[in-house]
């Protein structure tokens, strides 16, 4: 099997199974994502800490979650 890793730390493997059929397998290490989600800012759709939520939205790394320019 050949394996390729992308910028999201996702690995895609391509190969042949025992019936000579092409198979794809994808896996991704989500450890960092889980750790970032343990910050207690939200629970489901409910914002638990408004100040920290706004700071998170104002972070340039998260601009793609914004619908308008400016600071909260």
- Mean pLDDT over residues 48-64, rounded? 91
The whole-number pLDDT of residue 16 equals 94
The whole-number pLDDT of residue 52 equals 92
Pairing of strands 42-43, 46-47: antiparallel
**Cα-Cα-Cα-Cα dihedral sign, residues 41, 69, 9, 11:** positive
Q: Is the pTM of this model over 0.95?
A: no
- CA–CA separation, 45 and 49 (whole Å): 12
Model confidence pLDDT, tens digit, residues 10-48: 999 999 999 999 999 999 988 887 877 778 888 888 899
Yes or no: say if 12 and 6 are a contact pair by the CB < 8 Å rule.
Answer: yes
- CA–CA separation, 58 and 41 (whole Å): 14
The whole-number pLDDT of residue 23 equals 95
The whole-number pLDDT of residue 30 equals 83
- Domain range list for the chain: 2-65
- CA–CA separation, 55 and 64 (whole Å): 14
């Amino acid at each position: 099997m050949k394996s390729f890793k992308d910028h999201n730390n996702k690995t895609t493997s391509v190969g042949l199974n025992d019936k000579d059929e092409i198979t794809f397998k994808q896996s991704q290490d989500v450890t960092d994502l889980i750790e970032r989600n343990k910050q207690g800012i939200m629970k489901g759709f409910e914002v638990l800490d408004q100040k920290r939520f706004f700071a998170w939205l104002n972070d340039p790394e998260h601009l793609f979650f914004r619908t308008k320019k400016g600071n909260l």
